[in-house]
Amino acid sequence: MDSIRTNSVDMLKVQNQLSTGLRLARPSDDPADASTIMNLDSTLERQHQYSKNIDYALDFYASTDNALGQANELATNAHTLALASIGNPDAAKSNAILIEQIIDQLVSIGNQTCRGSYIFGGQNSTLAPFEGYKGGVLFSGDLGALQTRMAQYSLVDFNVNGDETFGALSSQVQGIVDLNPDITTDTLLSDLNGALGQGIRSGSIIINDGTNTDTVDLSNCITVGDIINKINDGAPATTTASIGADGTSLQVSSTLGGASLTINEVGTGSTANDLGIFDDVGGTAAISGQDVDARLSLTTPVTALAGGAGIDSITGGLNNGIKITNSLLEDINPIDIDDAQTLGDIINAINNAQIGVRAEINADGTGINVLNQLSGSEMAIGEDGGTTAAELGIRSMHGQNVLTGLNGGQGVGVMDETVPGEIRITDRQGATYDVDLSTAITVQDVIDLINAAAGGNVTADLAVNGNGIELTDTTGGLGDFSVTTISQNGHFVAKQLGFYDDQNNDGLSVSSNTLSGKDVNKIKPDGLFSHLIALRDAMLACDDTAIGLADNAVVDDRKNISNIRGKVGSIMQAAEARKLYMQDNILATETLRSDIRDIDFTEAITRYQNLYTALQGNLMTGGQLTSISLLDFLR
């Protein structure tokens, strides 16, 4: 009976193996091999996912390559039309229509998708990145990279953003002011660089007030307020933690007379050092910490900016906003940020103004950058009667601008030191002041030289409304107030400084006490869309010089697209090689798993036949034994 039972169980196992093709029905059949099989299953699952990721990326690369090929062809067509338009006004005007069609086609190319994602939209791949807007092209995508994992430690970018390809965003107005926020009890520890510049690493600290010692666990703290509360609750009763008087550090003090307060790390920790309150020497009743270097965040209170001074026009309630203009848009109202409570409120007010610009906190977390998203349009940022833009550090034309960078990089003419001055200012009483700008390097140098030359009769400063250099006549005269260039050397210096209008290409004259120059540091996207728009406008104006300049820029854009396409092709080859490698890995893993997990059918069938024969013998023997009775033994 035992033999029958054993053979029946073994036959059942073999039958299961033959029906499933698997050697192990449950982990208990062979724990060691079962564990190996489960590990191999996990490895295969990852490998198959990596293979799918590679396929997805290859589709993206292929779509990108196709789009870049179409864009390159359109840029070539635009170049051909530009050459045919020079010296031929009739052809230029008709070709301008074709350039407009090329722009529209490029917008469609920029909005191509792959598997439902816009290939040039950056991480914001669910929304169309390009649209025609007010005669320009508005880019609403971002510069983030789409990434996928092609191997365990290989995270790869697989998209090309719209700015890299089409130059859809301007060189940004970089914030020139470190807004240096104070810390508050709500400041996140993740927004602190820490006293050592390595963030705040969680851990515990040891506080001794000279008599008592306590260990304070700060590992679960999220905000500065949490740190303060934990110390106040867990340290010796005589100690108190607070934000320091400088607003940028923590302070821990003791009320114990003659205390020798010390703060140490626990083991090899670094929390006290990161918080700037490490002091293992003691000898004082108070430890004033180091600057923990808070970074800007969207939740940073306006009152915490500028070292706690805030932004005067906001915190002082002066109701002065920021004036941001884009040349293709008319009648743009100043951006009112008087009610802003946080930096995020300011940034949202700018981004929601629908003027084709984007504000963001810079990578270092020290200031604000503002970008122009509208190709073909020039952005300027100035004041609305106050100093808000300057305090935020986002004026497009400011005192620190280098003269060589003005006018789109063309600068302010070559200074000639052999003549007494470069520009002449005539006040309303008729007195003239020749201003030698040969030593000027920045806009502020120009302002200072004008003020020195005019001796107070004319004062120069940046405009309080809008932007640009503004001159004020203080003489009380009734004549014209003017600025002209007196030594050109091929350059119109007055115009390059912003003093011109539609009637006078170089120099400016008014019959009032204020003479306002233009912003000559406007920001515009420098890419294919902007250059094609400039080419179209030059063709409509039949301006051969402008056509040539725009065409040269388009040719450079075409080279850029070709270079990017070459890079994409190289990445595609690497991805295809990675796919073949992954397929080989999958095959090897499946083979190894099969060797351990799967049965040998020939061996299993032979074993089954042997077990079947043995079971038959068991049954025959059992049948014979069941026919024997006591009488057989009595005979």
Q: Specify whether 65 is located in the same domain as 100.
A: yes
Average pLDDT for residues 128-132, to the nearest whole number?
93
How do residues 298-307 score in pLDDT, each as one tens digit?
999 999 998 8
pLDDT of residue 282: 80
Rounded distance between C-alpha atoms, residue 96 and residue 329, angstroms:
22
CATH code for the domain of 128? 1.20.1330.10
Asked whether residue 139 is assigned to any structural domain, the reply reads: no
Its domain, for residue 310, covers 302-392
Over 90: is that where the pLDDT of 541 sits? yes
Asked whether residue 429 is assigned to any structural domain, the reply reads: yes
Least confident of 210-224, 275-289, 551-565: 275-289
Rounded distance between C-alpha atoms, residue 406 and residue 521, angstroms:
5
pLDDT of residue 316: 54
Concatenating the DSSP letter of every residue in 377-427 gives: --EEEEEESSSHHHHHT--SS-TT-BGGGTGGGT-S----TTSS-SEEEE-
pLDDT of residue 108: 96
Number of domains in the chain: 5
Q: Specify whether 447 is located in the same domain as 491.
A: yes
How do residues 16-56 score in pLDDT, each as one tens digit?
767 777 767 677 777 888 888 888 888 999 999 999 999 99
Cβ partners under 8 Å of residue 457, min gap 6: 427, 429, 431, 433, 473, 474, 475
Asked whether residue 534 is assigned to any structural domain, the reply reads: yes
Q: Specify whether 511 is located in the same domain as 408.
A: yes
pLDDT of residue 283: 79
pLDDT of residue 146: 85
Asked whether residue 40 is assigned to any structural domain, the reply reads: no
Q: Specify whether 276 is located in the same domain as 332.
A: no
pTM of the model: 0.81
- pLDDT greater at residue 556 or residue 321: 556
Least confident of 312-326, 354-368, 482-496: 312-326
Q: Specify whether 67 is located in the same domain as 116.
A: yes
Model confidence at 635, pLDDT cuts 50, 70, 90, reads low
- β partners of residue 433: 425
Q: Specify whether 417 is located in the same domain as 509.
A: yes
Q: Which helix (H) or strand (E) holds 149?
A: strand 147-151
Q: Specify whether 12 is located in the same domain as 67.
A: no
Q: Specify whether 66 is located in the same domain as 9.
A: no
Residue 628 tokens read as 């024997």
Label residue 509 exposed, middle or buried (CB < 10 Å: 0-12, 13-18, 19+): middle
Over 50: is that where the pLDDT of 127 sits? yes
Over 80: is that where the pLDDT of 220 sits? yes
Over 90: is that where the pLDDT of 194 sits? yes
Residue 365 tokens read as 């977390």
- β partners of residue 174: 369
Average pLDDT for residues 578-592, to the nearest whole number?
91
pLDDT of residue 599: 77
How do residues 454-470 score in pLDDT, each as one tens digit?
999 999 999 999 999 99
Over 80: is that where the pLDDT of 418 sits? no
pLDDT of residue 92: 94
Model confidence at 605, pLDDT cuts 50, 70, 90, reads confident
Over 70: is that where the pLDDT of 571 sits? yes
For the chain, the average pLDDT equals 88
Over 90: is that where the pLDDT of 480 sits? yes
pLDDT of residue 432: 94
Q: Specify whether 375 is located in the same domain as 315.
A: yes
